Structures are given as structure tokens and as C-alpha cells.
Amino acid sequence: MDRRDTSRRPAHPVAIRVMHWIGVYAMGCMIFSGWELYNASPSLPFLFPAWTGLGGWLAGAPAWHLGAMWLLFADGIAYLVHGCASGHFWRNPERPDHRRE
């Protein structure tokens, strides 16, 4: 007997889930390109392994870092606009009378 409830809806709408994963990708790019920038400084006490860096060369790392920053910024603005326009921010999941559409 299959116990999975196929009528159960996901906790968040598709738009929120997509924006979440875009944010994860952007943050990963910022972290790995930041490590490449960190490794470029000769005065810092240790180095991250070369395989963890993103950008490959000194001008590539800031390009990745800034590109990911703008992606994260746009993702955050999209999240705020969606949250305000759809009412996502004002729904209280604890109250049964506030159901998602």
C-alpha cells in the first residue's frame, strides 16, 4: 500500500523555489570567486585549494564575483516584488483560514 499523499501541495510556489535556487547558485559563485580573490593576495596567511577558486585568473575572479552579485541582487528584488504582489509575505501558515491560492 502506497502511503504517499499525492494531493499534498508543495510548501512554496514554483516561483519561490526557482528564486531560492537562483540565490543558491549566485551565493556559490560569490563564495568560490571570493576564495579566488583571497588567494590573489600575497599577504594573507593561508590559501584555499586551487580547485575551489572560480575565475581562474586575477581579472576573472572579480568578474564572476560582480556578475554573481548582480544576479543575487536581481533575485532579491524579484523575490520582494513577488512577495508583495502575491501576498506571500502576509499569509500566516499557522492560521487555517489563510490558504494559498
Complete DSSP assignment for 32-94: HHHHHHHHH-TTSS----GGG-SSSSTTHHHHHHHHHHHHHHHHHHHHHHHHHHHTTTT--TT
Q: Is residue 67 part of a domain?
A: yes
| Residue 36, domain member (yes or no) | yes
In a domain, 101, yes or no: no
**pLDDT tens track of the chain, all 101 residues?**
455 656 677 778 899 999 999 999 999 999 999 999 999 888 999 999 989 999 888 899 999 999 999 999 999 999 999 999 988 888 766 655 555 55
pTM, 2 dp: 0.76
Which structural domain, as residue segments, surrounds residue 19? Answer: 14-42+56-86
Specify the pLDDT at position 12: 81
Packing angle of the helix pair 14-40, 60-86 (nearest 10 deg) = 160
The three cell numbers locating residue 43: 599577504
68 located within any domain: yes
